[in-house]
Structure 1
Amino acid sequence: MLEENREAERSTYEPARPRDCVNPFIGTEPVDLPPPTGLAAKWWWPKPQVGNTHPGACRPMGTVSATAYTGGYPTGYGRYGKSLEGKPVPFIDRMLVSGFTHFQPSGVGAIRKYYNYCRVTPLTAEIGGLGALGTAWEVLDEQASPGYYACRLDKSGIRAEITVTPRGAVHRYTFPKSERASLAVDFSHGGIHIEDGRTIPLRAEFRLLGTRTAEACVTMEGLPIRAAVEVHGFGPADFESSLWVAGEPLTGEREKSYDYIRESNYQPFGVVFSGPTEEGQVVEVHVAFSFRSRQQAWRSLSGGARDFDSARTVTESCWDDKLGRIDVSGGTETERRVFYSALYHSLIKPCEANDESPFWPWDGPFYFDFSTMWDMYKTQLPLVLSLFPQHGADLINSMLTVVEMEGNFPIGYRLARGYDRFAHQASALAHVVIADAFNRGLEGIDWDRAVTMMWKDAGRAYGEAFLQDGVVHPITHTLDLAYGCYCTAQVAQSIGDDATATKMMRLAGRWSNAYDDNGLLRESTYYEGTLWNYSFRLLHDMAGRIALHGGDEKFVADLDRFFGFGAPDVSIPGRQPSAEEMAEGYALGRFEGLNNEPDMEVPYAYVYAGRHDRTCEIVRAGMAQMYGDSPGGMVGNDDSGAMSSWYVWNAIGLFPVAGQNVYLIGSPIFTRSQLRLGNGSIFTIEAPETSAERKYVASATLNGKPLQRPYLRWQDIAAGATLHLEMTAKRTAWTTKRPPSVSVNEC
């Protein structure tokens, strides 16, 4: 029925501006899609069934995001408590907010604290004034679009609007008539309202500089955050400003500082601006941040925007540029909304803060919030590198500086100082991203420096045992490290370092040590999955991998088992599933159905065994049934845009093999997609007859010439070309050619 409705939409659909198609609320509520049917009903969801996104204002890969604050897990927005599996449990029965905060993760799981800094709260005397600080009010009339968030607060009737600038935010509050309206800024605020979720400062200093300006420097999780604040809109009559601590004004004090704050002596603190307001009076708060100096915070504030409307216009223009890099035609109105919302979510992270690194004293590229790089590296980062080469080069150079300054490439890099707390989840992911940048020919990167850092990092942490023994547990790290060595070899060979290239290629062959005689991964511990979820990941030697498995027939048969072809439907975990229920689900050894990322690329493993038709069936089932345009339109955590970018790639009919110069051809849902690349070229994908039924590729041409291979190189795309796909409703062996493998021919 769902497919019939989508087909009916096609006849009445008229394209709209990309920004108008974005729904930032997608992923903010637990999944509300129809129960899966057909093949999708065989997939099992082990992780929380909510996108964990937020609808706040942000710029593309912007430093600051700003949204309403409830204390919900994990972004600070939403009604749900800590959730690691199943449907999340509400911790409040309706949206209640205590203000508006800055810096949020996007779609992540157990990040918990480190974010939601500098809470701004509008107040009136009629609801208690400063004494009501910390109270939560119901949110009404929420609206959101790229770069803009708005709502109305119950009780006070205050309308709140937020937009962002390159290094800050502009808040606009429309007040009712009040004998005293206030804007309280809580510099000490951070974290969320769950156990161990609050972040408190280590030290702080804050001051009033004038009657309408203030500044602060607060050290959160080892990171000094400087804030500059300016208020516009209160009249001169009866206007006041003051510092406050624990909700009480500090009369006569202009500055205050704290050293060594801990739970036992912590009290909230900040500044408050207040004055009488008439009905409809508008007050703006301009906030800017720096991780380096107060002077830079003030420069960012003065150069940010004259007023709310100008800030919003500039930010929306940035989104128009970025979202306009892909233009799609055909499909349904729903598919277009899902697509551009997914593209929007794919471009929020990582966050650019060039010239603002708090960890080294010189200017240059600095990016943070690779909060889930073990997910992002497969789809989200390849999308950024493909469409935005300057961002890509800066991102790589930032990572190279991180490894020089901190001694290792990050697996997850947040807005906090500290060792790599996510090292147990994966290894050598930066090597894959650097190889992606190399294969795309990004300029402005010192590849000699890159090889040096890649080579040094290969032996850290789990790499030490890998180099010594050829295998390491968790066994997935063996695959990670072997693949990282392959990625290093590619770049080393390009700079003429044959010795490093030869050594790295030899080490890259150790991927086979991870598998047993049945062609599956050895028994080990597995992060968020089982050996089945990792056994079919795409490697640099898929020909050797399939041979080790026993050949095409057995490989395909085990893939069919993994995806549930011919199997009974599964039971999806509900709220607070028992340990026994989860164990039974994991024992299925089943595809996680785009609820989680460990096996997100596995539908394309069929292509290496000559079964492109199976890939088409799986990706179409995933796009049709695991994504929607409602707040519950994600079946699992978006993880910094990883799941959203999976949809973006598959909807246009391509899939990047991370770390390789290979883009696999899939099954597009749009009749025409145009990618506007950073070099000015336009790459077009045409599939004029595509539909829910016509999902198989019958034939292909590239620039009018027959294409007999199921993949493209970056050179095919970057030069500007047209890929034309003839689609059919019949299963067909479109091509018997396989994508490249190192044991057959070099990638």
Structure 2
Amino acid sequence: MHSLLLISALLVHAACGKSNFDLISPLTGSLNGGNVFAGASLPYGMAKAVADVSGANTAGWAYDFSNVTGFSAQHDSGTGGNPSQGQFPISIQPYCADDDLGKCRFGSKYERAVDYRVGTPRAKPGYFGLGLENGVDVGVTVTEHSALWNFEFTANDTDGHKLSPLVLLDLTDLQDSRQNASVAVNPDTGRITANGTFLPSFGVGSYMSYVCVDFKGAEIRDTGVWVNERAGTEPKELFVNRGYSLYYIQAGGFVRFHKPDSNVLQARVGVSFISAAKACQNAETDIADWDFDRVRTAAEDAWKAKLSTVSIEAGGVNESIQRTFFTGIYRTMMSPQNYTGDNPLFQASELYFDSYYCTWDSFRTTFPFLTIFDPTTLSQLITSYLNIYKLTGWLPDCRMQLCKGYSQGGSNADNVIADAYVKNLTNIDWTLAYAAIKNDAENEPFDWGVEGRGGLQSWKQHGYIPVLDYDTLGFGPPYHSISRTLEYAYNDFCISTVAAGLGETANAAKYLQRSGNWHNLWNAIQTSSIKGNDTGFTGFLQPRYANGTWRYQDPIECSPLDSFCSYSSNPKETFEDSIWEYVFFVPQDQARLIATVGGKANFIRRLDFLHESGLLDISNEPSELVVYQYHYAGRPGLSAKRIHSYIPSAFNDSINGLPGNDDSGASGSFLAMAMSGVFPVAGQNVYLISPPFFESVSYRNAVTGKVATIRNVNFDPAYRDIYVQSARLNGEVYTRNWIGHELFLEGGTLELTLGREESGWGTREEDVPPSTSSSGMGGYEGVFEVRAE
């Protein structure tokens, strides 16, 4: 029956709308700080090729009408902070003035930048292209470790210029972090190989990167290297370091060609983190035939295969909303990137993914979404986490380009592992996983700024992280005591879940007890004002010294009404959000939180005030779950109403269709879950139910083959009827406002009948999601069961 539903949905797509693939818009979010990678990539691919620009180039490309500085084959997507990767960009000039090599432009990539023609940027999964004002049309497609560029010359021998293309390879990256580098040019074949040492954009240490560039389509005229503004045909090799007194030396290699026979010059770029020889091997293996159309078709087929597990019946919803949904799903597969087989730290066969930017962002919706959408890859991602643990002794929070990234709060890989555990993911070493997360709870690393947790002595002794904590075991950012306390409490809840499932009863009880530590920072008499006006709410979290006395932090600090509190320049006690918002981050015990703030009515009032006062930044990950926390107070209809206030007003399919950076697919997965009608409480076997944004959404589990469908009855594509009146699960009356992962493992249909007003559905005490204080361990059906394996 369920397979018939899927086939039916696919037929609806074929008859009435575009395919999933055709509804993806990679340029969405490429303006106004979305920082998405808009270029050519495979799902989780290491090679990510795009035009780099001089403006907001965190992911290489931005649709901000700045000019093009080059074309590079490795990037990250959706990150904040410094630009990431973009090593060894190539650039192309159709000719040198007066046909004189000395009159071509060398020097800085910004001095060589070229405007692109308005309206020419175009992108589809696996492809990116644009037209340059200098008369070159550019297109690129990719394999796992290689990119193939087509440079087509629309400007022929005109205006007295002789078409003789010059291609430069630049020994730099997007953030100009190069420490040293080498380049060599083969004068017979034109092959350019290079290597360099670069810095990660949000971490410590450095990494080596390698590239191999071959050309086809024109005879070689001359080759050489260049330094700063000058080039020469001898020598053919060059080594360069950072530069004297930090003066950044501009340098690289070049090949100049005679006029291409067909006006098309191809560049094949192989990349590697092992060696230049491996980069060449990658390119030769992946793109031996230089067939652009074949490589592009293969990339498209890879995306279509991934997208085949989800289908919708649009029910009259416009294509813009459909594009928003499928493009969100697409972005969840930009990162992490699969470096397996191209990682100098591991054996070739060991699973290794990189570019975890960062688990603090992605544990909430990205990994839970992959549990539904792509469980096979998620199992590999978690195995990669465990391989990193075996290598370094710690689970990472952030990691990029083989380097340790900054930890933004707790040890949130614990939440990812617990979420996968309670949802019965397979092919994971759960004994090793438990050892890794228990290590986070019990041991403090010397540098907890990049792994693990700090302040564990205080955590165990006081039951919270004190402000100005006296930590003699390690070092890290000596702030964020409130947000760290809340995150440690939830991390310990997640560890307790796995411990109980594995029969570790005593540890399960210990960590469950620690999960209540958040309450030790509750100051019942604290008030909050905005511009001198009392908000009318009493009781907030506050920083606390080790001796138990309080220190004051204004509850609105770090909110949009105050200022953004970043990682590196934030001496406050919350990270990237205010106390007003962090009050709600107690996913393990919403019942106790509701009682603490004075009951359901006050809880709802607080949520409403948070959403409507300007205190909430919906682009930030802690804001995601608070959209749905009305469920815990028995008002699921208010969650449905609230999500429609953000989609499509803040999230849509335009180039500025994200309210902030995508955080490596965190916003994309937020959209995918919200629009599917089942929102995850990460680390628990709990999805909060709200009506999908379509008549139905179906997911086929790639492991079990079962199909889960969430279907609306009385669906209104104008979104006036958004309140669930009643529900049925596989034909049986269903009253809970949440559901477990069993729907996606075993398949079935959740049918929601909609109306224009709130109803009594999901409002009873027995219908709300579980909490530790109201239900105890027994309230988490299926979560604490001891497993057979």
For the aligned pair, the TM-score class normalised by the smaller chain equals 0.7 to 0.9
Are the aligned partners of 2:223 and 2:233 in contact in 1 as well (CA < 8 Å)?
no
Q: 1:632 aligns with which of 634, 656, 667?
A: 656
Given the alignment of the two structures, is residue 540 of structure 1 paired with residue 518 of structure 2, yes or no? no
Q: 2:647 aligns with which of 619, 623, 635?
A: 623
Are the aligned partners of 2:586 and 2:593 in contact in 1 as well (CA < 8 Å)?
no
The alpha carbon displacement at 1:259 in A equals 5.5
Are the aligned partners of 1:284 and 1:308 in contact in 2 as well (CA < 8 Å)?
no
Q: Tell me how far apart the structure 1 counterparts of residues 710 and 83 of structure 2 sit (CA, whole Å).
A: 42
Given the alignment of the two structures, is residue 272 of structure 1 paired with residue 258 of structure 2, yes or no? no
Q: Tell me how far apart the structure 1 counterparts of residues 724 and 668 of structure 2 sit (CA, whole Å).
A: 24
Residue 468 of structure 2 corresponds to none
The alpha carbon displacement at 1:278 in A equals 5.0
Residue 496 of structure 2 corresponds to 489
Change (3 A) 1:214 1:624: closer
- Secondary structure, aligned partner of 1:303: helix
The alpha carbon displacement at 1:344 in A equals 1.5
Q: Residues 432-486 of structure 1, C-alpha deviation per residue, up to 9 Å, x if partnerless?
A: 1111221222222111111111111224333513223210152111111111111
| Structure 2: tracts of 5 or more residues without a match | 1-11, 200-205, 445-452, 466-479, 525-537, 544-552, 554-572, 784-789
Q: How does 1:17-96 map to 2 (within 5 A)?
A: 17-30=19-32, 50-75=33-58, 77=60, 94-96=65-67
Given the alignment of the two structures, is residue 100 of structure 1 paired with residue 100 of structure 2, yes or no? no
Given the alignment of the two structures, is residue 527 of structure 1 paired with residue 540 of structure 2, yes or no? no
Q: Tell me how far apart the structure 2 counterparts of residues 436 and 199 of structure 1 sit (CA, whole Å).
A: 37
Q: Tell me how far apart the structure 2 counterparts of residues 503 and 209 of structure 1 sit (CA, whole Å).
A: 68
Q: 1:153 aligns with which of 127, 132, 136?
A: 132
Are the aligned partners of 1:240 and 1:274 in contact in 2 as well (CA < 8 Å)?
yes
Residue 284 of structure 1 corresponds to 266
Are the aligned partners of 2:632 and 2:768 in contact in 1 as well (CA < 8 Å)?
yes
Q: 1:120 aligns with which of 65, 84, 90?
A: 90
| Amino acid in the other structure paired with 1:532 | W
The alpha carbon displacement at 1:180 in A equals 4.8
Q: How does 1:389-400 map to 2 (within 5 A)?
A: 389-400=375-386
The alpha carbon displacement at 1:361 in A equals 5.2
The alpha carbon displacement at 1:173 in A equals 0.6
Q: Residues 86-116 of structure 1, C-alpha deviation per residue, up to 9 Å, x if partnerless?
A: xxxx7xxx33112212322222221x14411
The alpha carbon displacement at 1:519 in A equals 5.0
Q: TM-score, normalised by structure 1?
A: 0.85
Residue 202 of structure 2 corresponds to none
Change (3 A) 1:271 1:202: closer
The alpha carbon displacement at 1:78 in A equals 5.3
| Amino acid in the other structure paired with 1:545 | L
Q: 1:294 aligns with which of 258, 273, 276?
A: 276
Given the alignment of the two structures, is residue 690 of structure 1 paired with residue 710 of structure 2, yes or no? no
Q: Tell me how far apart the structure 2 counterparts of residues 434 and 75 of structure 1 sit (CA, whole Å).
A: 29
Given the alignment of the two structures, is residue 677 of structure 1 paired with residue 677 of structure 2, yes or no? no
Q: Tell me how far apart the structure 1 counterparts of residues 57 and 152 of structure 2 sit (CA, whole Å).
A: 29
Residue 316 of structure 1 corresponds to 300
The alpha carbon displacement at 1:729 in A equals 0.6
Q: Tell me how far apart the structure 2 counterparts of residues 102 and 619 of structure 1 sit (CA, whole Å).
A: 37
Residue 212 of structure 2 corresponds to 228
Q: Tell me how far apart the structure 2 counterparts of residues 430 and 716 of structure 1 sit (CA, whole Å).
A: 25
- Secondary structure, aligned partner of 1:462: coil
| Amino acid in the other structure paired with 1:734 | W
Are the aligned partners of 1:342 and 1:644 in contact in 2 as well (CA < 8 Å)?
yes
Q: TM-score, normalised by structure 2?
A: 0.80
Q: Tell me how far apart the structure 2 counterparts of residues 262 and 683 of structure 1 sit (CA, whole Å).
A: 62
- Secondary structure, aligned partner of 2:383: helix
Q: Tell me how far apart the structure 1 counterparts of residues 281 and 672 of structure 2 sit (CA, whole Å).
A: 37
Q: Tell me how far apart the structure 2 counterparts of residues 357 and 668 of structure 1 sit (CA, whole Å).
A: 41
- Secondary structure, aligned partner of 1:138: coil
Q: Tell me how far apart the structure 1 counterparts of residues 244 and 708 of structure 2 sit (CA, whole Å).
A: 55
Judge which range, 482-491 or 269-278, deviates more: 269-278
Q: Tell me how far apart the structure 1 counterparts of residues 207 and 715 of structure 2 sit (CA, whole Å).
A: 51
Q: How does 1:291-440 map to 2 (within 5 A)?
A: 291-305=273-287, 306=289, 307-330=291-314, 331-360=317-346, 363-415=349-401, 417-418=403-404, 420-421=405-406, 423=407, 425-440=408-423
- Secondary structure, aligned partner of 2:89: strand
Q: Tell me how far apart the structure 2 counterparts of residues 187 and 303 of structure 1 sit (CA, whole Å).
A: 25
The alpha carbon displacement at 1:676 in A equals 1.9
Q: Tell me how far apart the structure 2 counterparts of residues 446 and 185 of structure 1 sit (CA, whole Å).
A: 47
| Amino acid in the other structure paired with 1:712 | I
The alpha carbon displacement at 1:336 in A equals 0.8
The alpha carbon displacement at 1:251 in A equals 2.5
Residue 772 of structure 2 corresponds to 742
Q: 1:718 aligns with which of 731, 741, 745?
A: 745
Are the aligned partners of 1:182 and 1:272 in contact in 2 as well (CA < 8 Å)?
no
The alpha carbon displacement at 1:688 in A equals 3.5
Q: 2:227 aligns with which of 238, 245, 248?
A: 245
| Amino acid in the other structure paired with 1:707 | Y
Given the alignment of the two structures, is residue 202 of structure 1 paired with residue 204 of structure 2, yes or no? no
Given the alignment of the two structures, is residue 699 of structure 1 paired with residue 701 of structure 2, yes or no? no
Are the aligned partners of 1:29 and 1:78 in contact in 2 as well (CA < 8 Å)?
no
The alpha carbon displacement at 1:386 in A equals 2.4
Q: Tell me how far apart the structure 2 counterparts of residues 463 and 383 of structure 1 sit (CA, whole Å).
A: 32
| Amino acid in the other structure paired with 1:132 | R
Change (3 A) 1:240 1:251: closer
Q: Tell me how far apart the structure 1 counterparts of residues 732 and 245 of structure 2 sit (CA, whole Å).
A: 69
Are the aligned partners of 2:365 and 2:680 in contact in 1 as well (CA < 8 Å)?
yes
The alpha carbon displacement at 1:681 in A equals 1.6
Q: Tell me how far apart the structure 2 counterparts of residues 57 and 543 of structure 1 sit (CA, whole Å).
A: 46
Q: How does 1:455-474 map to 2 (within 5 A)?
A: 455-458=438-441, 459-460=443-444, 461-464=453-456, 465-472=458-465, 473-474=480-481
Q: Tell me how far apart the structure 1 counterparts of residues 701 and 248 of structure 2 sit (CA, whole Å).
A: 50
The alpha carbon displacement at 1:538 in A equals 4.7
| Amino acid in the other structure paired with 1:123 | Q
- Secondary structure, aligned partner of 1:327: strand
Are the aligned partners of 1:530 and 1:589 in contact in 2 as well (CA < 8 Å)?
no
Q: Residues 159-185 of structure 1, C-alpha deviation per residue, up to 9 Å, x if partnerless?
A: 100111101211111124353533534
Are the aligned partners of 1:188 and 1:201 in contact in 2 as well (CA < 8 Å)?
no
Q: Name the structure, 1 or 2, with higher relative contact order (CA <8 Å, separation 6+).
A: 1
Q: Tell me how far apart the structure 2 counterparts of residues 717 and 19 of structure 1 sit (CA, whole Å).
A: 23
| Amino acid in the other structure paired with 2:138 | A
| Amino acid in the other structure paired with 1:188 | L
Change (3 A) 1:624 1:382: same
- Secondary structure, aligned partner of 2:91: strand
Given the alignment of the two structures, is residue 591 of structure 1 paired with residue 605 of structure 2, yes or no? no
Residue 164 of structure 1 corresponds to 142
Q: Tell me how far apart the structure 2 counterparts of residues 183 and 219 of structure 1 sit (CA, whole Å).
A: 26
Residue 606 of structure 2 corresponds to 558
Q: Tell me how far apart the structure 2 counterparts of residues 606 and 394 of structure 1 sit (CA, whole Å).
A: 34
Q: Tell me how far apart the structure 2 counterparts of residues 18 and 682 of structure 1 sit (CA, whole Å).
A: 17
Are the aligned partners of 1:204 and 1:219 in contact in 2 as well (CA < 8 Å)?
no
Percent pairwise identity? 27
Residue 786 of structure 2 corresponds to none
The alpha carbon displacement at 1:203 in A equals 4.2
Judge which range, 129-138 or 156-165, deviates more: 129-138
Are the aligned partners of 1:202 and 1:262 in contact in 2 as well (CA < 8 Å)?
no
| Amino acid in the other structure paired with 1:732 | S
- Across the aligned residues of Structure 1 and Structure 2, the Cα RMSD in angstroms comes to 2.5
Q: Tell me how far apart the structure 2 counterparts of residues 540 and 162 of structure 1 sit (CA, whole Å).
A: 47
| Amino acid in the other structure paired with 1:553 | A
| Structure 1: tracts of 5 or more residues without a match | 1-9, 31-49, 81-89, 192-196, 565-587
Q: Tell me how far apart the structure 2 counterparts of residues 353 and 603 of structure 1 sit (CA, whole Å).
A: 35
